[in-house]
Amino acid sequence: MEELRGFQPVSETCEQLREAIGCDFVGLALQNRVGLNIRWHFASGNLNDKYERITVRYGKGVAGKVISTGSPLLVENFPENILGKTTDHPIMLAEKLVSAYAVPLFFRGMPKGVLLAGNRTASSFSAQSCLMVKETATALEKILEGQIYFK
């Protein structure tokens, strides 16, 4: 996975999304090549480097739920109205996020990644912002498709 660290096109794309929709944080998580664990690999607007050490299981947390369902997930007023324990959502805790919108990234037709946009204040994501997150996820799929990690 180290071959993806500092991969500039991904970092730039995440930064551009954060600026375009005016959110506090954008992160990219990818499922490990072997096994079901999911790790956060890129972030823009992060408070610290804790995201690099976060690993969640398939089906757990924002990333695990998005990958397991293959569907977008909207979190508002975290930790209110969440299923499971607060500690099952480490990216929300580490980055002090209150609201987030996350979409899956597909590789060979399977959900294997997550793009998350988040805010540290209670706010809603407009339809336009959600569309931009989805479009950015599609762009990231194309950028990452050719990387050694996905071959």
- Name the residue among 81, 79, 74, 80 with its Cα closest to residue 118: 74
Q: Which residue has the tokens 């499971």?
A: 84
> What are the pLDDT digits (tens) for 56-99?
999 999 999 999 999 999 999 999 878 778 888 999 999 999 99
Domain of 110: which CATH number? 3.30.450.40
Residue 108: count of CB within 10 angstroms of its CB: 7
If one counts the domains in the chain, the total is 1
Mean of per-residue pLDDT scores for the chain: 90
What domain range includes position 86?
2-150
